[in-house]
Structure 1
Amino acid sequence: MSIDSSVQKSKSPMKLVLEPIKGRLIIASLLAAIGIMLTLVPLVGIAYIAQVILGGLSTEQIWQVVTWSLVSLFAGLIINTFAEYYVHCADNRLTHHLRLSAIERLSLVPLGWFTGRASGDVKQAMQDDIGALHDLTAHFFTTIARAVAVVVFSAIYLFAMSWQLALVTCVPFIAFFWLYSKAFKAGGEFMGDFIGGMARIDNAVVEFVSGIPVVKTFGVSGKSHSSYRDAVDAFAVAFRNLIGSTTKSVSAANAIMNPVTVLGFILTFGMIFIALGWIQPMDIVPFALIAPGICAPMLMISFITHGLRNATGSAERLNNLLHTPILEQPASLVDHPKNSIVKFENVDYGYDSEHLVVKNFDLTLKPGTVTAIVGASGAGKSTIARLLLRFFDPVQGKITLGDVDLKAFPSQALYQRIGFVLQEVRLINASVRENIALASPNATQDEVEAAAKAANIHHRIMSLPKGYDSIVGEDAILSGGEQQRVSIARAILLDPSILVLDEATAAADADNEAVIQEALSRFAVGRTLLVIAHRLDTIMHADHIVVMDEGQIVEQGTHVQLLERQGRYASLWQQGKYGQSDEEASEVNHV
């Protein structure tokens, strides 16, 4: 879905999301309104017969009224049925459109967009929020159209019969809405406490459940229960305040909007008007038949509009998703890179406009060399890796590959040249073979197996129930380290000239780490490597080591040179902040 930004600002999220089926919703609502009004014709016919029966209405006239009433009734039912079918087709069309538009949009957004969001947020927008719109598109508009049509049709008819009694009939309905507005206004004062109380209970439950092992170990269950108990007690108070402020008005409103109450009100004032000579006794009949029937539509209008709040929230989240900024890229690569030299030139980047996490970053990765980036947590190491992979673009400066700006590369062309193995492994719900061949779908079975063998994962795959045809997450339950080896096999099959390793073994146990390091060592030979390290001993033999702090390069050189300077790197090395001893250095040191 592509909508001009000026149009987007002038329209509400609800209007933007419903734009593709706007015309269909209008037609369905009009049909629903016409259909329900036709079904009211028999009531008018009955009232008419009752009014004039004392005046000597002929049998022929009675049959004419009955015939037209029945025709109107069945025509109304048919039109209503078609309106329901039509609006559900429109709902299906919108659901189809939104899901395809969301997938299309997500395929164009920067990969870094996903790292800043939980998968549940995307799932809520694509699945839950689209599902939540069903009640709005398939039921809300036609229901409102019917309710409003009943009220308007009835009001016009009753005012035509007797404007004096019609005015009196309006009193219960006006009182109903006044009492409801009073209740919502009173409840608004306590709604914040009510919502906050629910949130506190949710947080308390999470804290209690996650802390159960510690509670049982140290025997402090009383303290662990107290926060949950306090949250429940506070919510109970907020709930009582909310209910107490609204119950009286809501109960009175519902009592007034009762057909019996309305009928009694009409009969009482009808008798007064008859005594005053303003109307004839038979004039009460239409009001007694029609007015009580307005109660249900009026209640429906008040109740169904409450659901608009949830639908509005869903529409807003969907609208934001469908207008997520995309990563602009060309259709094809115009200038081919002359070599495999990677350059960061005066690069700045921030996840928001006020806080830069990378500042004035200059670095050159020479072909066939290993460059390692180290630094404390939050120094900006992983951001550099993701900038090279174009998860997002710098806010200033540029990154080039062979003197060609990364922005000139289509994603497929870029990832044919730059492979990566990140700490966060992403496998899709498909066969192991498809996961390995994700970037090379035309790879043969022999090529896939060769990549798996090079990644030290072939034997584990062959032990699965269906081998390479096993489905990840179903009959292929892989540990974190095994998933990491599948991702390495994927990179090996791609055979890129540049490889980015971002703490690739951080989530692996000792056994898996050794196997992963061995696979990476073989694969890295002859390639340009950018290694993001959390342990200094694993990169001590790198050709070039870059030390980052607060988004900037504070030192760079070889392991020996940096130790001789007695600076930041030497301090980290001496503190042992990154882990193991020299004797435990991994095989990757010899790359």
Structure 2
Amino acid sequence: MTKPIGRTGHPEVKPLRALLAPVRGRLLAGLACQAGAAIAGITPFAAAAELCRRLLAGTPMSALWPLVVIALVALPVRAVLLVAASTLTHLADNDLQLSLRRRLARHLTRLPLGWFAAHDSGRVKRAVSDDVGALHHLVAHALLDLTTAIVAPLAAAAYLATLDPWLPLVTVLPIAAGMALHRKAMRDVGARMREYQAATAALDSAVVEFFDGIAEVKAFGQTGRAHRRFTEAAARYGEFVAGWARSVTPAMAWSQFAMSPLVTLFVLLLAGVLFSPADTIPFVIVGAGLSGPLLAVGYSIQDTRAGQAAAADIAGLLATPELPDTGAATVDTGGGARLEFSAVRFSYDGETEVLHGIDLTLEPGTVTALVGPSGSGKSTVAALAARFHDVTGGAVRLNGTDLRDLPVSQLYRHIGFVLQDVRMLRTSVAGNIRLGRPDAPLEDVHAAARAARIHDRLLALPRGYDTVLGEEVTLSTGEAQRVSIARALLADTPVLILDEATASVDPESEAAIQDALSALVAGRTTLVIAHRLATVTEVDQIVVLDQGRITERGTHDQLVAAGGGYARMWEYAA
């Protein structure tokens, strides 16, 4: 949510200052050059004004050539300083974007994997690409515009004050009026921007819902209702934007009119009626151009606000706590892997506990299934087993070693996972399968794909295993699942976390995936999140969760015979 921007005490200014710290020296140098260029830009006008004033006073032309030289020299000096200022700020912007993207990339690799489950890829893309890019105008342009808007009027006012202490007040009257009107127009911009973002989000959601679900909508004869939701969201968005424009446009138009050079010129000429022409000419020549830099700042204010908001978002992401990776322990799983939950408690927000004292042991080579209603804690237990988060109480141990004592790079050589939401990288098929073993020979990649029942399909792709996913071809959900299973087979971790991979595929794909899973779990210590009870009737241990507690455990036959909650779920599923 965007907050008001502009004053130092506002929350989006401090993050911006911190992000700009590495390039502050070059920025200051660029701003100093811009300030010099602003003064050089005023100099020819001041020289021309002095030339006219002295000619009217009868000064011989031979004595005025120094003014002409000053005016001529100021022009190339201004050009050089402007190029230097723009070059310095653009170089600062380039280095800032590079350093920020590197910082974000490093930070993202150190975040808990559970953070990515709670945030879609759009959040990462917006931070690394859009938010960093939004700083460009602020760093490379807006600060220069602001410097000119401050220095040029001050330099002109300083010159004019040497001629008459009162006429400078007349010069700034239109500017003051314009700034007052601009402030009135921007009075509620913070609240308006929040409303605008909400309206935009509602429209985006309606568009995605309408187009993504168009097949289902048509199949069930609900086209009119879905289209009506879309058009209503579009209408609300249009009404908001139109209403905002109606409330802001008059004040903005009058603000720009008041600060226009023609209005300033008219006011100065009118004031000249009360003074001699010799006193008025310098104010007309110099004063009429004072409002131009201020208008330039007004035009870029939205980009400036966007840059400040982007800086706040980037700073917020960089402030997200990283997963501690200070462990130096080692563990040997060559003889089998035993995973143990000991009095495990967990809270996502540090306040509301979602797991309450979980005690669970997964013996080497066994398959344990987690079942229970939605929200019972199944996914949380699995996430802690893979150290997507750290426990807030108790411990998860692998062969007696706390997972927090293992280096992260070592941990995932022992624990692998196949998730229901499969992510393929935009690289070759072989590169996707090699994710856990980048140096694996192609023969091993092929063997893993054969075991995952996907080898023949991959050979049929345009360039076989060299085909780039996401560019040359897009795999179906079932095919992507089998590639992820091949990835897990090649990684060959002794512990496997499995989110039931057949929950959202067609029957043909389900059969192939079940065959692949049989090859995958063989000999491994496996924890399965079960969405359908029929798929886990043959596992070694079923654990029933409810409201973050274990309520039952045993084999399928034992739990059915016990007549408890599992038996009721089984009866309902049957």
Q: State TM-score, norm by structure 1.
A: 0.89
* Pairing 1:379–2:376 present: yes
* Cα shift at 1:233: 5.2
Counterpart of 1:575 in structure 2 is 572
Q: Distance in 2 between matches of 1:529 and 1:410?
A: 21
Counterpart of 1:490 in structure 2 is 487
Spell out the pairing of 1:93-492 with structure 2 (5 A cutoff): 93-185=95-187, 197-209=199-211, 212-213=214-215, 216=218, 224=226, 226-228=228-230, 230-231=232-233, 234-235=236-237, 238-239=240-241, 241-274=243-276, 281-330=277-326, 332-334=328-330, 340-492=337-489
CA contact (8 A) 1:375 1:549 kept: yes
Secondary structure class of the residue paired with 2:288: helix
* Cα shift at 1:428: 0.9
Q: Distance in 2 between matches of 1:228 and 1:426?
A: 30
Q: Deviations over 1:363-420 (max 9, x none)?
A: 0011121211111222211221111111111111110001100011112211111222
Q: Could you tell me the percent identity over the aligned residues?
A: 39
Q: 1:118 to 1:246 in 2, by over 3 A?
A: same
* Cα shift at 1:236: 5.4
CA contact (8 A) 2:340 2:361 kept: yes
Q: Distance in 2 between matches of 1:10 and 1:206?
A: 31
Q: 1:13 to 1:108 in 2, by over 3 A?
A: same
RMSD: 2.5
Q: 1:451 to 1:192 in 2, by over 3 A?
A: closer
Q: 1:203 to 1:137 in 2, by over 3 A?
A: same
Secondary structure class of the residue paired with 1:333: coil
CA contact (8 A) 1:389 1:418 kept: yes
Q: Which amino acid aligns with 1:14?
A: L
* Cα shift at 1:270: 1.8
Q: Which amino acid aligns with 1:256?
A: A
Q: Which amino acid aligns with 2:33?
A: L
CA contact (8 A) 1:180 1:249 kept: yes
CA contact (8 A) 1:204 1:228 kept: yes
* Cα shift at 1:228: 4.8
Counterpart of 2:67 in structure 1 is 65
Q: Deviations over 1:252-298 (max 9, x none)?
A: 32222222221121111122134xxxxxx312111010111012112
Q: 1:53 to 1:92 in 2, by over 3 A?
A: same
Secondary structure class of the residue paired with 1:39: helix
Q: 1:509 to 1:218 in 2, by over 3 A?
A: closer
Q: Which amino acid aligns with 1:127?
A: S
Counterpart of 1:3 in structure 2 is none
Q: Which amino acid aligns with 2:415?
A: I
Counterpart of 1:38 in structure 2 is 40
Q: Distance in 2 between matches of 1:217 and 1:496?
A: 44
Q: Distance in 2 between matches of 1:543 and 1:68?
A: 92
Q: 1:450 to 1:198 in 2, by over 3 A?
A: closer
> Aligned to 1:12, which of 11, 14, 30?
14
Unaligned segments of structure 1, at least 5 residues? 1-8, 275-280, 578-591
* Cα shift at 1:212: 4.9
Q: Deviations over 1:126-174 (max 9, x none)?
A: 1111111111111011111122111111111111111111122222111
* Cα shift at 1:195: 5.8
CA contact (8 A) 1:36 1:150 kept: yes
Counterpart of 1:583 in structure 2 is none
Q: Distance in 1 between matches of 2:218 and 2:331?
A: 64
Q: Which amino acid aligns with 2:283?
A: F
* Pairing 1:518–2:515 present: yes
Q: State TM-score, norm by structure 2.
A: 0.92
* Cα shift at 1:425: 1.3
CA contact (8 A) 2:31 2:143 kept: yes
CA contact (8 A) 1:417 1:496 kept: yes
Secondary structure class of the residue paired with 2:341: strand
Counterpart of 2:504 in structure 1 is 507
Secondary structure class of the residue paired with 2:474: coil
Q: Distance in 1 between matches of 2:125 and 2:252?
A: 37
Q: Distance in 2 between matches of 1:472 and 1:487?
A: 13
Secondary structure class of the residue paired with 1:556: strand
Q: Which amino acid aligns with 2:94?
A: N
Q: 1:211 to 1:443 in 2, by over 3 A?
A: closer
Unaligned segments of structure 2, at least 5 residues? 1-10
* Cα shift at 1:351: 2.2
Q: Distance in 2 between matches of 1:287 and 1:352?
A: 63
Q: 1:299 to 1:213 in 2, by over 3 A?
A: same
* Cα shift at 1:54: 3.3
Q: Which amino acid aligns with 2:541?
A: H
Q: Which amino acid aligns with 1:51?
A: R
* Cα shift at 1:11: 7.2
CA contact (8 A) 1:339 1:401 kept: no
Counterpart of 2:4 in structure 1 is none
* Cα shift at 1:179: 2.1
Q: Which amino acid aligns with 1:572?
A: M
> Aligned to 1:538, which of 527, 532, 535?
535
Secondary structure class of the residue paired with 1:430: coil
Counterpart of 1:278 in structure 2 is none
Q: Distance in 2 between matches of 1:471 and 1:489?
A: 17
Q: 1:208 to 1:528 in 2, by over 3 A?
A: closer
CA contact (8 A) 1:190 1:241 kept: no
Q: Does 406-415 or 249-258 show the bigger shift?
A: 249-258
Q: Distance in 1 between matches of 2:243 and 2:380?
A: 49
* Cα shift at 1:356: 2.6
> Aligned to 1:566, which of 563, 567, 572?
563
* Cα shift at 1:193: 6.1
